Amino acid sequence: MVPILAGAAAALAALLHVYIFVMESVQWSQPRIWRRFGVADQDAADSVRPMAFNQGFYNLFLAIGAVLGLVLFAAGAPDTVADVAGRTLLLFSLGSMTAAALVLLMTGRRYVRAALFQGTLPLVGFVLFLFA
């Protein structure tokens, strides 16, 4: 049961980070998107666009790591190379997602909601995979 819950949390965390990638790297030019990130006006959005584009790819790469970890974990019998590699990749990816949310949380009170939204699923998945 724990591996199923851990896998579900990891998959949802990966999906969330793909969504963040889409917002930051694909849809950034839309005012409704950059306003969501607290950007005040078009000039500021244009100014931070390269950073948002880059940050979006960080989120995508973390999601890819989690998905590859899930695939390896599911493909390997206990204590096989695939199982160990999958767990390792999952713990690294989910831990990095959680750490990024903690950094966001330390940025200021206005980011508490975003940090909780971004970091809860990876944290749950990380803890559950420790026991899976």
Question: What's residue 1's pLDDT?
Answer: 76
| Residue pLDDT tens, the chain, 132 long | 778 999 999 999 999 999 999 999 999 999 999 999 999 999 999 999 999 999 999 999 999 999 999 999 999 888 999 999 999 999 999 999 999 999 999 999 999 999 999 999 999 999 999 987
Q: Which domain holds residue 36?
A: 2-131
Q: How many domains does the chain have?
A: 1
Q: How many CA atoms lie within 13 A of 74 on its CB side?
A: 12
Backbone dihedral region of 28: left (phi > 0), alpha (psi from -120 to 50 degrees) or beta?
Answer: alpha
If phi > 0 it is left, if psi is from -120 to 50 it is alpha, else beta; for residue 106 that is alpha
- The whole-angstrom separation of Cα 84 and Cα 74 is 11
